[in-house]
Amino acid sequence: MTENGYSADEMMAVAAARRLRDGAVCFVGIGLPSRAANLARATHAPNCVLIYESGTIGAKPRSLPLSIGDGELAETADAVVSVPEIFSYWLQAGRVDVGFLGAAQIDRHGNLNSTVIGDYDHPKVRLPGAGGAPEIAASCRDTLVMLRQTPRAFVERLDFRSTVGHGEGAGSREQLGFTGRGVTAVITDLGVLEPDPETRELTLTRVHAGVTVEEARAATGWKLRVADDVEVGEAPTEVELTALRALKTPSDQDSGE
Amino acid sequence: MAEIVPLTDAIEELVHDGDVVALEGFTHLIPHAAGHELIRRGRRDLTLVRLTPDVVYDQLIGMGCASKLVFSWGGNPGVGSLHRFRDAVERGWPRPLELVEHSHAGMAAAYAAGAANLPFGVLRGYAGTDLADRTGIAWITCPFTGERLASVRALRPDVGVVHAQQADKAGNVQLWGITGVQKEAVLASRRSIVTVEEIVPRLVPQPGGVVLPSWVISAVCVVPGGAHPSYAHGYYDRDNDFYLRWDEISRDRDRFAAWMKRHVLETADVHEYRVSLRDEAATAA
């Protein structure tokens, strides 16, 4: 909690929620993304269609689910389909506007690691794995990534590439045959990074209220590119904070699922 | 035709050491009781298959039942790591665990191909990732459009195990709510076991319900509460508290072993397992 009366995580959730337009069809990962997507639904985007990879389409949870398959999601969904169907008929077919992901590591081109820290065969930390992320980032029109900005998470080189953001940079996605635009924003507890339109390298375009560009640089494991005119984001409003805190959180941890 | 038999008999007859076994369930309807029976019977060298291995796979791995895992996401949903799975991968305890790692979309396609008795599934996926080297995928060219696509070898487990809400007396099964990849797992497998909450005189169609006819199932076993700590839509809720507690129980090898001994090895069935959990809770309170 800062002296402003909100935490960095709350700022991150609010900043991410603001990027979801009303009516968007959104494929949601559990943890931070689910919290932000449900905040958007509770505030400016009541008509967001939330899809969870358990096959629940149009879920309207009254409290935040602990897992991607809580009964609450099925009970409030417009439709519940099988897992093969959600990935083939809905995601791969290009029906989803926004993919909303977390990760353990990210590199300067928005590629993600959620598989392993260290060597794959002799890992220092074995993480849960990619789950739905590779195809979410390949097929959704836009992909939003949420993770806390630290030098351990924002790395020069990923230990494992679970999910492609912009590959090696300009032209990579086209070469790989992806239909979606890839990572269009990385929302952190310090600000927002967006890919440079030419090179596709992540560039700091916004810092949250009370955060400096230097802090963002120091929290990045590569030499961070900074936009010429970095915007300063608006602090959470009372309405946003109240709505966020009303979302009951069974667990504050991000499983990265 | 499915025979309606006790779970102990179904596991004894249908699951052997060294088998490829898929206990499926996507958060919902996870066949925990069947997993516990595999542990009680001391099955070894199993290749475990599942998109989302969670607590019951953590238990099977920690008890040394598995030598290989085919999966796409292995964690405690909403809580964090699976500590027994991590211990096996990071330190080879109690034995090394070979991994075949997919993405969800790839593994779902592999199951669907298995269910369709096709040699492979096809998808737009894996491109540009390091996962491509871990799944044994092959790149193919669409004969009609020239598009480059990923192909995944079909999954054909020896045994598919799922939990469902209901069966009728003839062994026809219905499950509903989040139905995951259970239909594909049963149809892709050579043999199958379905544990159910109850036998009803007649299956009443449910919205979104999946019906598996008796003649594609090897055995149906009546195991009320058999999904706990997972849930059975319309019967009982997910025991989210248990998933949070599992993080603590499973962190330490000795505490894990003691928990498994008390609640699984020293109980005969799901009823005794539930009673032993209740006794423990009562003592703690």
Q: Are residues B55 and B192 in the same domain?
A: yes
> In chain B, how many H helices and how many E strands?
9, 13
Q: Is the pLDDT of residue B2 over 90?
A: no
Q: Are residues B97 and B110 in the same domain?
A: no
What residues contact B189, with CB distance under 8 A and at least 6 apart?
B22, B114, B156, B157, B158, B159, B160
Structure letter (DSSP) for residue B55: H
Strand ranges for chain A from DSSP E:
25-28, 49-52, 56-57, 79-80, 98-101, 105-106, 112-113, 116-118, 123-126, 142-146, 183-187, 191-195, 202-207, 225-232
Residues of chain B contacting residue A54, judged by C-beta atoms under 8 Å apart: 26-28, 178, 180
Q: Are residues B135 and B17 in the same domain?
A: no
Number of domains in chain B: 2
Q: Are residues B126 and B55 in the same domain?
A: no
Q: Is the pLDDT of residue B63 over 90?
A: yes
Q: Which CATH class is domain A8-246?
A: alpha beta
Residue A87, amino acid:
F
The answer to whether the CB of B26 falls within 8 A of the CB of A83 is yes
Q: Are residues B115 and B95 in the same domain?
A: no
Q: Is the pLDDT of residue A162 over 50?
A: yes
Asked if B76 reaches chain A (Cβ–Cβ under 8 Å), the answer is yes
**Residues B170, B168: Cα–Cα separation, whole Å:** 5
CA distances from B162 to A79, A97, B173, B284 (A): 22, 33, 11, 33
* Residue A1 confidence class, pLDDT cut points 50, 70, 90: low
Q: Are residues B75 and B144 in the same domain?
A: no
Residue B123, SS3 per DSSP: strand
Tell me the per-residue pLDDT of B102-160, one tens digit each, with 9 for 90 and over. 999 999 999 999 999 999 999 999 999 999 988 889 999 999 999 999 999 999 999 99
Tell me the per-residue pLDDT of A80-105, one tens digit each, with 9 for 90 and over. 999 999 999 999 999 999 999 999 99
CA distances from A213 to A19, A219, B73, B249 (A): 21, 10, 36, 43
Q: Output the pLDDT for position A124.
A: 96
Which B positions 81-140 lie with beta carbon below 8 A of chain A?
A: 81-82, 85-86, 89-90, 101, 103-106, 108-109, 111-112, 123-131, 134
Q: Are residues B178 and B253 in the same domain?
A: yes
Question: Final residue of a domain: which of B138, B153, B168?
Answer: B153
Tokens of A186: 């990385």
Question: Taking the CA of residue B143 as centre, how many other CA atoms within 13 Å lie in the half-sphere pointing to its CB?
Answer: 0
Q: Are residues B28 and B130 in the same domain?
A: no
Across residues B80-95, what is the average pLDDT? Answer: 97
Beta bridge partners, B28, equal B231
Q: Are residues B73 and B10 in the same domain?
A: yes
Tell me the per-residue pLDDT of A114-128, one tens digit each, with 9 for 90 and over. 999 999 999 999 999
SS3 content of chain A, % helix, strand, coil (to 5): 25, 25, 50
Task: Tell me which residue range forms the domain holding B60.
Answer: 3-101+156-284
Nearest-by-Cβ selection for A84 from B28, B52, B181: B181
Quote the minimal CA–CA distance from A95 to chain B in Å: 14
Question: Final residue of a domain: which of B136, B153, B170?
Answer: B153
pTM (2 decimals)? 0.95
Structure letter (DSSP) for residue A237: P
Q: What residue segments make up the domains of chain A, in order of their start?
A: 8-246
**Residues B16, B183: Cα–Cα separation, whole Å:** 22
Question: Final residue of a domain: which of B153, B172, B194?
Answer: B153
Q: Are residues B85 and B185 in the same domain?
A: yes
Q: Are residues B269 and B182 in the same domain?
A: yes
* Residue A249 confidence class, pLDDT cut points 50, 70, 90: low
What CATH number should be reported for the domain holding residue B9?
3.40.1080.10
Q: Are residues B145 and B160 in the same domain?
A: no
